[in-house]
Chain A
Amino acid sequence: MQELVELLAKALVDNPDAVQVTEIEGEKSIIVELRVASEDMGKVIGKQGRIARAIRTVTKAAAAKEGKRVAVEILQ
Protein backbone atom coordinates (compact mmCIF):
# COMPACT_ATOMS: atom_id res chain seq x y z
CA MET A 1 0.00 0.00 0.00
CA GLN A 2 2.88 2.26 0.88
CA GLU A 3 4.26 2.30 -2.66
CA LEU A 4 0.85 2.98 -4.16
CA VAL A 5 0.14 5.99 -1.93
CA GLU A 6 3.64 7.27 -2.60
CA LEU A 7 3.16 6.92 -6.33
CA LEU A 8 -0.16 8.76 -6.30
CA ALA A 9 1.10 11.54 -4.04
CA LYS A 10 4.29 12.08 -6.04
CA ALA A 11 2.29 12.45 -9.24
CA LEU A 12 0.21 15.22 -7.70
CA VAL A 13 2.65 17.42 -5.79
CA ASP A 14 5.23 20.02 -6.79
CA ASN A 15 7.86 18.63 -4.42
CA PRO A 16 7.93 14.89 -4.95
CA ASP A 17 11.12 14.63 -2.90
CA ALA A 18 9.29 15.83 0.19
CA VAL A 19 6.72 13.02 0.01
CA GLN A 20 7.03 10.64 2.94
CA VAL A 21 4.91 7.59 3.45
CA THR A 22 4.95 5.19 6.37
CA GLU A 23 2.91 2.08 6.84
CA ILE A 24 1.69 0.53 10.07
CA GLU A 25 0.41 -2.94 9.41
CA GLY A 26 -2.06 -4.65 11.70
CA GLU A 27 -3.70 -8.03 11.40
CA LYS A 28 -6.65 -6.96 9.31
CA SER A 29 -6.01 -3.32 8.71
CA ILE A 30 -3.22 -1.10 7.48
CA ILE A 31 -2.67 2.52 8.37
CA VAL A 32 -0.78 4.53 5.78
CA GLU A 33 0.53 7.89 6.87
CA LEU A 34 1.26 10.45 4.18
CA ARG A 35 3.36 13.55 4.70
CA VAL A 36 3.99 16.16 2.02
CA ALA A 37 5.56 19.63 1.92
CA SER A 38 3.22 22.12 3.60
CA GLU A 39 2.68 24.03 0.34
CA ASP A 40 1.58 20.79 -1.29
CA MET A 41 -1.12 19.96 1.28
CA GLY A 42 -3.82 21.38 -0.97
CA LYS A 43 -2.62 19.21 -3.84
CA VAL A 44 -3.27 15.98 -1.94
CA ILE A 45 -6.43 17.11 -0.16
CA GLY A 46 -8.23 19.16 -2.79
CA LYS A 47 -11.42 21.15 -2.64
CA GLN A 48 -13.66 19.59 0.01
CA GLY A 49 -11.16 16.74 0.30
CA ARG A 50 -11.93 15.52 -3.17
CA ILE A 51 -8.39 14.48 -4.02
CA ALA A 52 -7.87 12.85 -0.62
CA ARG A 53 -11.07 10.89 -1.19
CA ALA A 54 -9.88 9.71 -4.61
CA ILE A 55 -6.52 8.60 -3.15
CA ARG A 56 -8.37 6.68 -0.40
CA THR A 57 -10.74 5.04 -2.89
CA VAL A 58 -7.93 3.77 -5.11
CA THR A 59 -5.90 2.58 -2.12
CA LYS A 60 -8.95 0.86 -0.66
CA ALA A 61 -9.44 -1.06 -3.90
CA ALA A 62 -5.84 -2.25 -3.85
CA ALA A 63 -6.16 -3.32 -0.20
CA ALA A 64 -9.44 -5.11 -0.83
CA LYS A 65 -7.64 -7.28 -3.35
CA GLU A 66 -5.47 -8.52 -0.48
CA GLY A 67 -8.46 -8.79 1.83
CA LYS A 68 -7.40 -5.92 4.04
CA ARG A 69 -8.75 -2.60 5.18
CA VAL A 70 -6.69 0.50 4.77
CA ALA A 71 -6.83 3.97 6.25
CA VAL A 72 -4.85 6.72 4.57
CA GLU A 73 -4.04 9.57 6.91
CA ILE A 74 -2.63 12.85 5.71
CA LEU A 75 -0.40 14.40 8.35
CA GLN A 76 1.09 17.84 8.82
Chain B
Amino acid sequence: MKSVEITAKTVEEAIEQALVELNIAKEQADIEVIDEPQKGLFGLIGNKMAKVKVSELVDPVKIAKEFLFSICDNMGIKVEIESTVVDNYTHLSFTGDGLGILIGRRGETLDAMQYLTNLTVNRKIEDRVKFILDVEGYRKRREETLNKLAKRLSDKAKQSRTKVVLEPMNPHERRIIHTALQEEDGVNTYSEGDEPFRKVVISPENC
Protein backbone atom coordinates (compact mmCIF):
# COMPACT_ATOMS: atom_id res chain seq x y z
CA MET B 1 0.00 0.00 0.00
CA LYS B 2 1.37 3.40 -0.98
CA SER B 3 1.22 6.30 1.44
CA VAL B 4 2.81 9.73 1.94
CA GLU B 5 3.11 12.27 4.72
CA ILE B 6 2.81 15.90 3.73
CA THR B 7 3.29 19.11 5.68
CA ALA B 8 1.62 22.30 4.47
CA LYS B 9 0.05 25.52 5.73
CA THR B 10 -3.47 24.13 5.89
CA VAL B 11 -4.93 20.65 6.12
CA GLU B 12 -6.67 21.05 2.75
CA GLU B 13 -3.47 22.08 1.09
CA ALA B 14 -1.59 19.12 2.52
CA ILE B 15 -4.26 16.68 1.38
CA GLU B 16 -4.30 18.23 -2.07
CA GLN B 17 -0.54 17.81 -2.41
CA ALA B 18 -0.64 14.25 -1.16
CA LEU B 19 -3.33 13.27 -3.66
CA VAL B 20 -1.28 14.74 -6.50
CA GLU B 21 1.81 12.90 -5.32
CA LEU B 22 0.00 9.56 -5.12
CA ASN B 23 -1.88 10.33 -8.30
CA ILE B 24 -5.25 9.26 -6.91
CA ALA B 25 -8.69 10.79 -6.36
CA LYS B 26 -9.96 11.74 -2.91
CA GLU B 27 -12.40 8.79 -2.92
CA GLN B 28 -9.51 6.36 -3.21
CA ALA B 29 -7.66 7.81 -0.27
CA ASP B 30 -7.48 7.13 3.43
CA ILE B 31 -6.72 10.46 5.10
CA GLU B 32 -5.33 10.87 8.58
CA VAL B 33 -4.64 14.32 10.05
CA ILE B 34 -1.53 14.10 12.19
CA ASP B 35 -1.18 17.80 13.15
CA GLU B 36 -3.74 20.57 12.90
CA PRO B 37 -2.15 23.88 11.94
CA GLN B 38 -1.87 26.37 14.82
CA LYS B 39 -1.46 30.10 14.63
CA GLY B 40 1.30 31.27 16.97
CA LEU B 41 1.47 34.51 18.85
CA PHE B 42 0.53 37.46 16.57
CA GLY B 43 0.71 34.97 13.72
CA LEU B 44 4.47 35.12 13.97
CA ILE B 45 6.01 32.96 16.63
CA GLY B 46 5.24 29.29 17.15
CA ASN B 47 3.32 28.75 13.92
CA LYS B 48 2.58 25.12 13.45
CA MET B 49 2.09 23.58 10.04
CA ALA B 50 -0.62 21.06 9.13
CA LYS B 51 0.55 17.52 8.70
CA VAL B 52 -1.45 14.72 7.10
CA LYS B 53 -0.87 11.13 6.20
CA VAL B 54 -2.62 9.95 3.06
CA SER B 55 -2.70 6.31 1.98
CA GLU B 56 -4.09 4.78 -1.13
CA LEU B 57 -7.12 2.64 -0.42
CA VAL B 58 -6.99 -0.59 -2.33
CA ASP B 59 -10.07 -2.64 -2.91
CA PRO B 60 -9.06 -6.33 -2.94
CA VAL B 61 -12.22 -7.41 -4.72
CA LYS B 62 -11.59 -4.89 -7.47
CA ILE B 63 -8.02 -6.13 -7.97
CA ALA B 64 -9.21 -9.74 -8.03
CA LYS B 65 -11.94 -9.02 -10.53
CA GLU B 66 -9.65 -7.08 -12.83
CA PHE B 67 -7.14 -9.95 -12.73
CA LEU B 68 -9.80 -12.54 -13.51
CA PHE B 69 -11.47 -10.45 -16.20
CA SER B 70 -8.15 -10.07 -17.98
CA ILE B 71 -7.53 -13.84 -17.87
CA CYS B 72 -10.99 -14.60 -19.25
CA ASP B 73 -10.65 -11.89 -21.84
CA ASN B 74 -7.41 -13.49 -22.95
CA MET B 75 -9.09 -16.86 -23.27
CA GLY B 76 -11.81 -15.24 -25.31
CA ILE B 77 -14.67 -15.89 -22.90
CA LYS B 78 -17.18 -13.39 -21.58
CA VAL B 79 -18.04 -13.62 -17.91
CA GLU B 80 -19.87 -11.82 -15.17
CA ILE B 81 -18.39 -12.02 -11.71
CA GLU B 82 -20.44 -11.56 -8.60
CA SER B 83 -18.85 -11.23 -5.19
CA THR B 84 -20.32 -12.14 -1.82
CA VAL B 85 -18.65 -12.31 1.56
CA VAL B 86 -19.39 -15.33 3.76
CA ASP B 87 -17.53 -15.63 7.07
CA ASN B 88 -13.94 -14.72 6.26
CA TYR B 89 -14.13 -15.75 2.64
CA THR B 90 -14.88 -13.66 -0.40
CA HIS B 91 -16.74 -15.77 -2.90
CA LEU B 92 -16.38 -14.80 -6.54
CA SER B 93 -18.85 -16.58 -8.74
CA PHE B 94 -18.67 -16.64 -12.50
CA THR B 95 -21.60 -16.78 -14.84
CA GLY B 96 -21.51 -16.90 -18.62
CA ASP B 97 -21.43 -19.26 -21.59
CA GLY B 98 -19.02 -22.13 -22.09
CA LEU B 99 -17.39 -21.89 -18.70
CA GLY B 100 -16.60 -25.59 -18.45
CA ILE B 101 -13.11 -24.69 -19.59
CA LEU B 102 -12.66 -22.63 -16.43
CA ILE B 103 -13.48 -25.60 -14.22
CA GLY B 104 -11.21 -28.17 -15.83
CA ARG B 105 -10.86 -31.79 -14.81
CA ARG B 106 -12.16 -32.12 -11.24
CA GLY B 107 -12.00 -28.36 -10.78
CA GLU B 108 -8.28 -28.30 -11.52
CA THR B 109 -8.33 -25.08 -13.54
CA LEU B 110 -10.67 -23.38 -11.11
CA ASP B 111 -8.37 -24.26 -8.20
CA ALA B 112 -5.33 -22.98 -10.11
CA MET B 113 -7.05 -19.67 -10.86
CA GLN B 114 -8.18 -19.41 -7.26
CA TYR B 115 -4.64 -19.96 -6.02
CA LEU B 116 -3.18 -17.38 -8.41
CA THR B 117 -5.88 -14.85 -7.52
CA ASN B 118 -5.13 -15.19 -3.81
CA LEU B 119 -1.42 -14.75 -4.45
CA THR B 120 -1.83 -11.77 -6.76
CA VAL B 121 -4.20 -9.86 -4.55
CA ASN B 122 -2.59 -10.60 -1.20
CA ARG B 123 0.83 -9.39 -2.22
CA LYS B 124 -0.70 -5.95 -2.82
CA ILE B 125 -2.60 -5.47 0.41
CA GLU B 126 -1.88 -5.60 4.13
CA ASP B 127 -4.79 -7.62 5.47
CA ARG B 128 -5.18 -11.04 3.97
CA VAL B 129 -8.30 -11.68 1.97
CA LYS B 130 -9.25 -15.24 1.13
CA PHE B 131 -10.99 -15.78 -2.18
CA ILE B 132 -13.04 -18.74 -3.23
CA LEU B 133 -13.82 -19.01 -6.93
CA ASP B 134 -16.87 -20.76 -8.26
CA VAL B 135 -18.31 -21.34 -11.69
CA GLU B 136 -22.04 -21.88 -12.11
CA GLY B 137 -22.42 -23.49 -8.67
CA TYR B 138 -19.71 -26.09 -9.36
CA ARG B 139 -18.35 -26.18 -5.82
CA LYS B 140 -21.77 -26.75 -4.27
CA ARG B 141 -22.50 -29.57 -6.71
CA ARG B 142 -19.10 -31.14 -6.10
CA GLU B 143 -19.67 -31.01 -2.35
CA GLU B 144 -22.95 -32.88 -2.71
CA THR B 145 -21.29 -35.48 -4.93
CA LEU B 146 -18.49 -35.97 -2.42
CA ASN B 147 -20.95 -36.32 0.45
CA LYS B 148 -22.81 -39.05 -1.39
CA LEU B 149 -19.56 -40.74 -2.34
CA ALA B 150 -18.42 -40.69 1.28
CA LYS B 151 -21.60 -42.35 2.50
CA ARG B 152 -21.52 -44.98 -0.22
CA LEU B 153 -17.89 -45.89 0.36
CA SER B 154 -18.28 -46.01 4.13
CA ASP B 155 -21.07 -48.56 3.68
CA LYS B 156 -18.80 -50.53 1.42
CA ALA B 157 -15.98 -50.42 3.98
CA LYS B 158 -18.32 -51.61 6.74
CA GLN B 159 -19.75 -54.43 4.68
CA SER B 160 -16.51 -55.74 3.28
CA ARG B 161 -14.61 -55.03 6.52
CA THR B 162 -11.70 -53.71 4.47
CA LYS B 163 -10.18 -50.29 4.00
CA VAL B 164 -11.37 -48.19 1.10
CA VAL B 165 -8.81 -45.84 -0.46
CA LEU B 166 -10.17 -42.89 -2.37
CA GLU B 167 -8.52 -41.18 -5.31
CA PRO B 168 -6.15 -38.25 -4.63
CA MET B 169 -7.93 -35.03 -3.68
CA ASN B 170 -6.98 -31.53 -2.61
CA PRO B 171 -7.16 -30.52 1.08
CA HIS B 172 -10.56 -28.89 0.67
CA GLU B 173 -12.15 -31.95 -0.87
CA ARG B 174 -10.54 -34.29 1.65
CA ARG B 175 -12.00 -32.19 4.41
CA ILE B 176 -15.48 -32.59 2.97
CA ILE B 177 -15.06 -36.39 3.10
CA HIS B 178 -13.69 -36.35 6.66
CA THR B 179 -16.49 -34.06 7.84
CA ALA B 180 -19.16 -36.16 6.14
CA LEU B 181 -18.03 -39.28 7.99
CA GLN B 182 -17.15 -37.74 11.32
CA GLU B 183 -20.44 -38.74 12.93
CA GLU B 184 -20.69 -42.02 11.10
CA ASP B 185 -20.48 -45.05 13.41
CA GLY B 186 -18.28 -47.97 12.57
CA VAL B 187 -15.73 -46.18 10.38
CA ASN B 188 -12.68 -43.94 10.82
CA THR B 189 -11.10 -41.73 8.23
CA TYR B 190 -7.55 -40.51 7.75
CA SER B 191 -5.36 -39.29 4.92
CA GLU B 192 -2.18 -40.81 3.60
CA GLY B 193 0.44 -40.03 0.95
CA ASP B 194 2.04 -36.74 0.00
CA GLU B 195 0.56 -33.74 -1.77
CA PRO B 196 -0.64 -33.50 -4.46
CA PHE B 197 -1.43 -37.23 -4.32
CA ARG B 198 -2.72 -37.32 -0.76
CA LYS B 199 -5.84 -39.43 -0.41
CA VAL B 200 -8.48 -40.28 2.12
CA VAL B 201 -8.72 -43.77 3.55
CA ILE B 202 -11.97 -45.01 5.06
CA SER B 203 -11.28 -47.79 7.51
CA PRO B 204 -13.86 -49.92 9.37
CA GLU B 205 -13.56 -49.97 13.15
CA ASN B 206 -12.24 -53.08 14.94
CA CYS B 207 -10.42 -54.25 11.91
Of A2-10, A21-29, A30-38, which stretch is located at the interface?
A: A2-10
B176 at the interface (CB under 8 A from A): no
From A12, A53, A54, A65, give the contact of B75 (CB < 8 A). A65
Which range holds the interface residue count of chain B?
Answer: 20 to 34
**Interface SS, B side:** helix
Q: Mark A10-51, 1 if CB is under 8 A from B, else 0.
A: 011000000000000000000000000000000000001011
Tally of contacts, chain A with chain B, CB under 8 A: 53
Which B residues touch A61, using CB under 8 A? 75, 101-102, 104, 109
> Please, how many angstroms separate the alpha-carbon atoms of A54 and B67 in the complex?
15
Across the interface, name the chain B residue whose C-beta is closest to A46.
Answer: B119
Which B residues touch A74, using CB under 8 A? none
Which A residues touch B123, using CB under 8 A? 12
Across the interface, name the chain A residue whose C-beta is closest to B123.
Answer: A12
> Please, how many angstroms separate the alpha-carbon atoms of A12 and B120 in the complex?
6
